Amino acid sequence: MSGNAAAWRTLAVLTLAVILSMTTWFSATAILPQLTIHWSLSSGMQTWMTNGVQLGFVVGALSLSLVNLPDIAPLRLLMSAAAMAAALANLGLLIAPGPEWALTCRILTGIALAGVYPPALKLVATWFQRGRGLAMGTLIGGLTFGSAFPHLLRALSQGISWMAVVAGASGLTLIGAFLFLSKAREGPYPFSRAVFDPRQIGRVVRNRGVALTNLGYFGHMWELYAMWGWFLAFSAAAYGNGTLHAHQLSLMVFAIIAVGVLGCILGGVLADSIGRTATTALMMLVSGACALIIGVVFGGPLWLFLLVAGVWGIAVIGDSAQFSAMTTEVGDPDLIGTALTFQLGIGFALTMISLALVPMIADAIGWRWAFLILVPGPVLGAAAMLLLRKLPEAARIAHGLR
């Protein structure tokens, strides 16, 4: 098998393994109504059953970056062990005596998944020098479909026991762990190894190219999960008064999030063709404009609403992989795993803030203009990318395409 064919085959296996492993995160959205009945969850606890995984991921990611584990441990062992831990933590929901224990299981699941996602990005980079943007875009595209899947599941799986969903998600994650262990190998472009030193995180923070890349990513993440997380409620407020039924709304939101797979691929192609800073700035400006315009078309003709929402679904995620790709190009070679894990940890921490703010804005002024709070994120992110484009460090991005 040629090197190029081996790289794409490895990417396909990694993408599948990551999707399978991350089902323990995404499936909670689909079973939340049943969990609410089972444990009589308050509205606050309902929110934490989803945000608990986010919190765990942040704790896990920052902890891994502080001890440099993604740059010390063999990636396949780290990812397979983390996936197995996520499966076991998720299975804990089946024996949890109450919501507090269940929340602990969700947090532990998030901590474990921090050992899956960031190392997978690093591993992909070892297989691709050229075409890295498209390769990482493909991996993030898989995660995008995984994020959309609970909405499809909710629309199609009426009557399925939540326990079966939990057991199934854990089983899929164990398959992902096996794939990591048996198939995940570093490619022909490995990064140098680091040694354990908690002070190494300082090198990541002080790297000017990585810092601006992080700023762009943080602006992107400020918008992404809040849009994904609240678009169903937003759509229900606009068209749930008889225009669309609940299952139709779920299918619509599934399509709007899932179309982001095309955005990830488009972003990868553009980034490898015209440069990553240009692509990410363009995507964020389009995405920010959609966050503004979606309020204008709120409750208007459905076709127009779907058009704006579809463009937003493409642009809001289309740049995501390119921040990771840039980090692998401008970061210190022996700390790429640490830099990626730190980037993702802080980025997901920001999502918890924006996820909390959107419904607060909706309560105050209504859903129509609730997404306006998201606009500053992509605007600041685009500014960071245009600034990075002017720096000497940008010459290392996308083989000089910046």
Domain that holds residue 121: 3-400
Whole-angstrom distance, CA of residue 102 vs CA of residue 203: 38
CATH code, domain carrying 112? 1.20.1250.20
C-alpha gyration radius of the chain: 20
pLDDT digits (tens, 9 = 90+) for 211-223: 999 999 999 999 9
pLDDT on residue 357: 93
* pLDDT at residue 198, rounded to an integer: 65
Cα–Cα distance for residue pair 228/380, rounded to 1 Å: 20
What is the reported pLDDT for 29? Answer: 74
SS3 labels along 237-284 = HHHCCCCCCHHHHHHHHHHHHHCHHHHHHHHHHHHHHHCHHHHHHHHH
User: Tokens representing 167?
Assistant: 């057991």
pLDDT of residue 3: 53
Q: What is the pTM of this model?
A: 0.89
CA–CA dist 338, 68 (Å, integer):
5
For residue 131, what is the DSSP state? T
Measured over the CA atoms of residue 208, residue 211, residue 213 and residue 215, the dihedral's sign is negative
CA 204 to chain CA centroid, nearest Å: 21
The pLDDT assigned to 34 comes to 83
**pLDDT the model gives residue 5:** 85
Mean pLDDT by 10 residues, the chain (402 residues): 75 92 81 86 84 91 87 91 96 92 94 92 88 89 82 71 87 94 88 66 84 96 93 90 79 91 93 92 97 95 96 96 92 85 92 92 95 97 95 84 76
Q: How far apart are the first and last CA of the chain?
A: 32
Indicate the number of domains in the chain. Answer: 1
Residue 309 has what pLDDT?
97
